[in-house]
Amino acid sequence: MTAEAAVPTVPSERYGPLVHRSVRHGAILYIVGVLQFLVGMIVTQLLYGPPTYNLLSNYISDLGAYNCGVWGGRQICSPGHEIFNVSIILLGILLIIGTVLIRTAFPARGSRTVGLGLLVISGFGAMGVGLSPEDYNLTIHSLSAATAFVGGGLALVVLGVAMFRDTRWDGFRAYTMLSGLVALIAFILFFTKNYGPLEVGGMERLIVAPILLWSLVVGIHLVRIPTYAPPGVRGSRS
């Protein structure tokens, strides 16, 4: 036996590509949560008014307002407010449960714990938005919205780090971090009232859109990764 043959093979330090079955379940919850929320918003917008809902001049939260009248210097009236509020509460619940279920899709390191923890906090923020509409308790509503916005943006930046050296996330690391940065920059502009041509509604959507799109894309990605059976269970499925 030669000296070269005696040297043991060093296992790869990269993770992947399989995921636990629970990850697929969490990914499905991500997909369902985002899609039902988008449908809820669209339906509520169609029922809105008078006046009609404007994507640029209206806040997203105007869809969940209980009362019709002047609020914050603008005329609001959302007959379908219950649809919006229920859908965003459900979004928060599904994101929280889904985040817990997909945790094993990331290497066990501190950045995973922090990133997923921030996503869970963001989910609770979304629930708070639906439970406290803007014309019911503005303070709690605003704090909940900020929690959802900042928590979601920071979560994606940290999770981009958590994806390092994991083949399951090849091609997603830069996208994840960029999505988080866009959401955070948009939040700063929104908070400082530098809306530009997007106006208040468009800037608020620039905060939310990257987080929702990431959740949907990642959900679809994780569903497509083959799963392995837990210890003691024979076989696997894809």
pLDDT digits (tens, 9 = 90+) for 16-29: 567 888 999 999 99
Q: Give domain status of residue 58, yes or no.
A: yes
pLDDT of residue 227: 78
pLDDT of residue 11: 46
Q: Give domain status of residue 237, yes or no.
A: no
Instruction: Report the alpha-carbon distance of residue 116 to residue 118 in Å, rounded.
Output: 5
Alpha carbons within 13 angstroms on the beta-carbon side of residue 145 total: 23
Q: Give domain status of residue 5, yes or no.
A: no
Q: Give domain status of residue 43, yes or no.
A: yes
Who's near 211: CB < 8 A, 6+ residues apart?
Answer: 122, 152, 153, 156, 179, 183
Instruction: Report the alpha-carbon distance of residue 32 to residue 37 in Å, rounded.
Output: 8
Q: Give domain status of residue 9, yes or no.
A: no
pLDDT of residue 4: 46
Q: Give domain status of residue 11, yes or no.
A: no
pTM: 0.86
Residues of the chain falling short of pLDDT 70: 1-17, 229-238
Q: Give domain status of residue 236, yes or no.
A: no
**Number of structural domains the chain divides into:** 1
Q: Which two tokens stand for residue 75?
A: 């005329």
Q: Give domain status of residue 191, yes or no.
A: yes
The whole domain housing 54 covers 16-225
- Give the residue among 139, 124, 132, 153 at the shortest CA–CA distance from 214: 153
pLDDT of residue 84: 98
pLDDT of residue 185: 98
